Amino acid sequence: MIRLGLTGSIGMGKSTTAAMFRDLGVPVYDADAEVHAAYAQGGACVGPVGEAFPGVVKNGAIDREALRQVVLADPAALVRLNEIVHPIVAELRHGFFETLEADGTDLVVLDIPLLFEKGSERTMDAVVVVTAPPELQRERVLQRPGMTPERLDAILAQQTPDAEKRARADFVVDTSQGLEPVRRQVAEIVAIMRDPERRPASKSAAGAP
């Protein structure tokens, strides 16, 4: 099964691009959505995270803002959190892939915001980076409820710069020109990845994630 990584900095249009892959029938693994589900009521992370960080579980779910405040106040807390969450999410991801393989799926997109930051590109066959001009990126993000310029700058400081992501990508999708150009490029990427003669050389060094 071909693994196509999809990433991009905040506000670049990655979620919209992922939806276009789904529209073409390509399964998309959404790393953020998986974590959100694991943090929700009944989720796999609620018990272990609540035990490690008392007070962050409210109404049976992890209060993400309360957890964020704990992590911001104690850098070591982020390390502990990752040690808890990453193995759980990895197990959930493994189950997702087992189901697809049983169904004979040939291509899957992995929507991973911190793909390069976590070194996950090494498990991909190719990488798509979604981009847009910085002024459009800021305009989009600052329209989100509760977002401020300071918070945006703090988020960007934790992400690999857009220029570096583009330089390391196999495919770059510019979302600044409207939806139709993006939709056409997504269709072309799918066609290329399914064509052994045109597919980029695999980055994968660790087998299926």
What pLDDT digit, counting tens, does each position of 131-165 carry? 999 999 999 999 999 999 999 999 999 899 999 99
User: Can you tell me the distance from the alpha carbon of 163 to that of 180, in angstroms, rounded to the nearest whole number?
Assistant: 24
- Going by C-alpha positions, the residue among 171, 175, 205 that lies closest to residue 188 is 171
CA 112 to chain centre: 2
User: Can you tell me the distance from the alpha carbon of 4 to that of 11, in angstroms, rounded to the nearest whole number?
Assistant: 20
Pairing of strands 61-62, 57-58: antiparallel
- Tokens encoding 202: 């695999």
**Using an 8 Å Cβ cutoff, are 110 and 33 in contact?**
no
- Going by C-alpha positions, the residue among 4, 8, 43 that lies closest to residue 24 is 4
**Using an 8 Å Cβ cutoff, are 129 and 7 in contact?**
yes
* pLDDT tens column, 31-60: 889 999 999 999 999 999 999 999 999 999
Domains and CATH numbers, the chain: 1-27+106-209 (3.40.50.300), 31-104 (no CATH)
- Tokens encoding 192: 């290329």
Strand partners, 143: none
User: How many Cα atoms sit within 13 Å of 192 on the Cβ side?
Assistant: 18
* pLDDT tens column, 57-91: 999 999 999 998 998 888 899 899 989 998 998 89
Angle formed at CA 80 by CA 74 and CA 84, multiple of 5 degrees: 145
* pLDDT tens column, 168-191: 999 999 999 999 999 999 999 999
Strand partners, 110: 5, 29
Average pLDDT over the chain reads 93
Q: Residue 133 phi/psi, 5° resolution?
A: -60, 145
